[in-house]
């Protein structure tokens, strides 16, 4: 079974305005509300691609209840630890450019954190755990390391989609898959903006550290894949971006779904890029039909 773990889920509140007038009253042209947070997005896209998963994490208040209801409507299993306080609301402002304001999230007590750890302790060697998104400030900074250590102890596979010190601390666990974007890759190695040549150098370095599959996404500029079998590049298909929130999470789900379906690496990578772009081109996350329409336009080249 695939488990996704979102320590800090969100209700993503997408607000479209014609033009943002700072310091004035703005009236929205359209608002949309989605269950969000990186692991939850991975679970939602996996379901759309025909793969079941269980969403783990913390949920609280009316916003937490909204997320659970939406996931149930989509027939996604969830096993959240219920916490006092409210799951955060992340504002995604669309005014030509995309501006995001992500909330902090509720404080998580140590007893609640222990309940989540107990769920991870029940994993077995057939399981995959996706650790994705930011760590709420109230949890110990090494919470991901602790959860990853439990996962490795049980020989389950780890998938990582996070950034900063949390990402750095997890590399020693030799994850099955990591998906930094090029900014996160640069931050990981303490360097500034990366050229494509530098992405290749640092991406390969991650595989040398024992990570099985590395995908480095670069928004509209496409993505690289690095692994034992191959190093690959794919341009992102061209299209009109409607909402790129969740594009990275969709890539993770796309790769896992194709890999679980036994597709060769190059095809799984193409499917992953198509899933990312299909999400960028839609208001909500991608559908299977959108991904399968787009995948024929993804050309993968071997480096
Ligand atoms: N403007 C865009 N045009 C086409 N595809 C895009 C665009 N933005 C994102 N994508 C797709 O989504 C993937 C992930 O996007 P990216 O922004 O790099 O991830 P993250 O959300 O993790 O930062 C890209 O590799 C690409 O396939
Ligand atoms: O945990 P973080 O880093 O604050 O990110 C949470 C946000 O990331 C998202 O999961 C989207 O992530 P991506 O655009 O990177 O795929 C949103 O749904 C959510 O609002």
pLDDT, one tens digit per residue, over 50-93 is 999 999 999 999 999 999 999 999 999 999 999 999 999 999 99
Ligand 1 site, residue 41, Cβ cutoff 6 A: no
25 falls within a domain = no
Write the ipTM. 0.95
Model confidence at 98, pLDDT cuts 50, 70, 90, reads: confident
Percent with pLDDT over 90 in the chain: 91
CATH code assigned at 278 = 3.40.1190.20
pLDDT at 193: 84
- How confident is the model over 264-284, as a mean pLDDT? 97
At what angle are helices 38-48 and 247-260 packed, to 10 degrees? 50
232 alpha carbon, distance to own chain's centre: 21
pLDDT of 176 over the 90 cut: yes
70 falls within a domain = yes
Model confidence at 210, pLDDT cuts 50, 70, 90, reads: very high
Look-up of token digits 């755990």:
129
Which of 276, 298, 300 to mutate to test ligand 1, by most ligand atoms within 8 A of the CB atom?
276
pLDDT at 96: 86
pLDDT tens digits along 220-247? 999 999 999 899 999 999 999 998 889 9
95 falls within a domain = no
pLDDT at 51: 98
Burial class of residue 294 in the structure, from the number of CB atoms within 10 Å of its CB (0-12 exposed, 13-18 middle, 19+ buried): buried
> What's the CA gap between 43 and 4, in Å, rounded?
7
- How confident is the model over 6-35, as a mean pLDDT? 96
List, in order, residues 6 or more apart from 122 with CB less than 8 Å away. none
Model confidence at 24, pLDDT cuts 50, 70, 90, reads: very high
Name the residue with the closest Cα to ligand 1, atom 20: 248
Ligand 1 site, residue 218, Cβ cutoff 6 A: yes
pLDDT of 249 over the 90 cut: yes
Distance 218 CA to ligand 1 centre (A): 6
Residue 112: active-site member = no
54 falls within a domain = yes
The residue among 257, 213, 251, 218 whose CA lies nearest residue 235 is: 218
Distance 12 CA to ligand 2 centre (A): 9
19 falls within a domain = no
94 falls within a domain = no
pLDDT at 263: 97
Ligand 1 site, residue 272, Cβ cutoff 6 A: no
pLDDT of 192 over the 90 cut: no
Distance 220 CA to ligand 1 centre (A): 5
96 falls within a domain = no
Q: What is the pTM of this model?
A: 0.96
149 falls within a domain = yes
Question: Quick one: tokens of 293?
Answer: 């329409």
pLDDT of 164 over the 90 cut: no
Mean pLDDT, the chain, integer: 95
Q: How many domains does the chain have?
A: 1
Pocket of ligand 2 (CB under 6 A): 8, 10, 12, 36-38, 41, 90, 102, 133-134, 245-249
Out of 144-148, 189-193, 229-233, pick the least confident.
Answer: 189-193
| Host domain of residue 282 | 2-7+37-88+104-302
Ligand 1 site, residue 45, Cβ cutoff 6 A: no
Which of 6, 37, 130, 144 to mutate to test ligand 2, by most ligand atoms within 8 A of the CB atom?
37
């Amino acid at each position: 079974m695939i488990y996704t773990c979102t320590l800090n889920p969100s209700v993503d509140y997408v607000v479209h305005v014609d033009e943002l007038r700072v310091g004035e009253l703005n009236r929205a042209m359209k608002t949309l509300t989605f269950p969000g947070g990186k692991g939850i997005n991975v679970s939602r896209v996996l379901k759309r691609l025909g793969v079941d998963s269980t969403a783990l994490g913390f949920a609280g208040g009316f916003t937490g209840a909204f997320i659970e209801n939406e996931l149930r409507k989509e027939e996604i299993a969830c096993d959240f630890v219920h916490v006092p306080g409210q799951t955060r609301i992340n504002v995604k402002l669309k005014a030509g450019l995309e501006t995001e304001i992500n909330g902090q999230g509720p404080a998580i007590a140590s007893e609640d954190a222990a309940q989540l750890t107990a769920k991870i302790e029940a994993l077995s060697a057939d399981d995959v755990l996706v650790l994705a998104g930011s760590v709420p400030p109230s949890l110990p900074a090494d919470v991901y390391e602790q959860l990853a250590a439990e996962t490795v102890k049980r020989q389950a596979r780890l998938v990582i989609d996070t950034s900063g010190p949390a990402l750095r601390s997890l590399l020693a666990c030799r994850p099955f898959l990591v998906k930094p974007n090029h900014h996160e890759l640069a931050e990981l190695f303490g360097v500034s903006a990366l050229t494509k040549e530098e992405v290749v150098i640092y991406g390969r370095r991650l595989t040398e550290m024992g990570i099985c599959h590395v995908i480095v996404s670069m928004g509209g500029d496409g993505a690289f894949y690095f692994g034992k079998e191959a190093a690959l590049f794919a341009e992102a298909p061209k299209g009109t971006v409607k909402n790129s929130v969740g594009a990275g999470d969709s890539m993770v789900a796309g790769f896992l779904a194709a890999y679980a379906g036994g597709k060769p690496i190059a095809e799984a990578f193409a499917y992953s890029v198509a899933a990312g772009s299909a999400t960028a081109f839609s208001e909500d996350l991608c559908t299977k039909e959108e991904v399968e329409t787009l995948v024929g336009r993804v050309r993968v080249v071997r480096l």
